[in-house]
Structure 1
Amino acid sequence: MSGGVDSAVAAARAVEAGHEVVGVHLALSRMPGTLRTGSRGCCTIEDSMDARRAADLLGIPFYVWDFSERFKDDVVDDFIAEYAAGRTPNPCMRCNERIKFAALLEKALALGFDAVCTGHYATITTDASGRRELHRASAEAKDQSYVLGVLTAEQLAHAMFPLGDTPSKDLVRAEAARRGLAVAQKPDSYDICFIPDGDTSAWLAERVGTAPGDIVDRTGAVVGSHEGAHAFTVGQRRGLRLGTPAPDGKPRFVLDVRPKERTVVVGPREALAIAEIAGSRYTWAGEPPADPTETFACDVQIRAHADPVPAIARVVERESDASGEPSGSAASVSSGASVTELVITPDAPLDGVAPGQTAVVYVGTRVLGQCTIDRTVSAVPVPA
Structure 2
Amino acid sequence: MGAALERMLGALRTVKASGAEHREEAVIHRAAERAWRASVRAAKWLAIAGHTAEFALQVAFFTVLAVGRARVASGAIDVGTLIAFLMYVFYLVLPLQQLISAVGQYQVGAAAVARIQEAERLPAEPSRPAAALPVPGAAPAELEFREVHFRYVPDLPPVHRGVSFAVPPRGMTAFVGPSGAGKTTLFSLIERFYDPTGGSILLDGRDLSEWDIPQLRSAIGYVEQDAPVLSGSLRDNLVLGAPEATDHEIRRVLSVARLDDLVARLPRGLDTLVGHRGTKLSGGERQRVAVARALLRRPRLLLLLDEATSQLDAVNEAALRDTVAEVARTTTVLVVAHRLSTVTLADRIVVVNAGRVQAVGTHTELVAADPLYAELAATQFLAATL
* Structure 1 length-normalised TM: 0.21
Q: Which structure is higher in helix share?
A: 2
Flag the structure with larger Rg: 2
Q: Which structure is higher in strand share?
A: 1
* Structure 2 length-normalised TM: 0.21
